[in-house]
A and B are shown apart, each in its own frame.
Chain A
Amino acid sequence: QQPVQSPQAVILREGEDAVINCSSSKALYSVHWYRQKHGEAPVFLMILLKGGEQKGHDKISASFNEKKQQSSLYLTASQLSYSGTYFCGTERLGTGGSYIPTFGRGTSLIVHP
């Protein structure tokens, strides 16, 4: 049930682009993206909802393919501050009627000057 992220790690230079993918074997209601820097708490970046609605970050974009149960996070013209581990989170409807979040294992992104 855990979403699968790829690649596991990305190393790039400042100004380059990166794509991080997230896929699930279960139907997705939404996809959340978080970034966690070493020793810090995860920080919310974006949520993509079934039906195309998107809420989140100004400088990072993402797509959500409901039929393929996949999402991709697009980091363009990367900056040093983009370094960190990116997690995608999906939701499944719990027995209590609310949503249970499940996170992938993360993608480590390192941006070099």
Chain B
Amino acid sequence: DAGVTQSPTHLIKTRGQQVTLRCSPKSGHDTVSWYQQALGQGPQFIFQYYEEEERQRGNFPDRFSGHQFPNYSSELNVNALLLGDSALYLCASSQSRYEQYFGPGTRLTVT
């Protein structure tokens, strides 16, 4: 059983560009959450998707948007990239609120 997978592994973008990150949840999981983790910090909640709708959102600007597909996979889109968006982006899937399985993350570098 594959766990949570994310692509790409690494990404380098220029300020002002747009980026799309992808996540496939663990089999049987219907909820996907996205986090931003800066170096030396804990994961910061961006938003959560359930049944193809954004269920909850953290304190992130509208430049951060997402989508969940019928197969529960998800995308995170970030527009107008800033240097401060450089971070590890983690996707986590769950079947309930009791346990989240994290993917390996996408390391985004904005230059």
Contacts and interface: CB of A to CB of B under 8 A. Distances in A.
Interface residues of B, number: 24
Interface string B23-53: 0000000000100000011111100101000
Contacts of A84: none
A96 B99 contact: no
Per DSSP, are chain B's interface residues mostly helix, strand or loop, or mixed? Answer: loop
Interface string B77-111: 00000000000001000000111111111000000
Per DSSP, are chain A's interface residues mostly helix, strand or loop, or mixed? Answer: strand
Contacts, number: 57
How many interface residues does chain A have, given as a range?
A: 20 to 34
Contact of A103 (B43, B56, B99, B104): B43
A41 B42 contact: no
A47 B45 contact: no
Interface of B: 4, 33, 40-45, 48, 50, 55-58, 90, 97-105
Given A98-B50, A99-B97, 16 more contacts: A32-B100, A40-B104, A41-B4, A41-B90, A42-B43, A44-B100, A47-B98, A55-B99, A87-B43, A95-B56, A98-B97, A99-B56, A101-B33, A102-B45, A105-B41, A106-B41
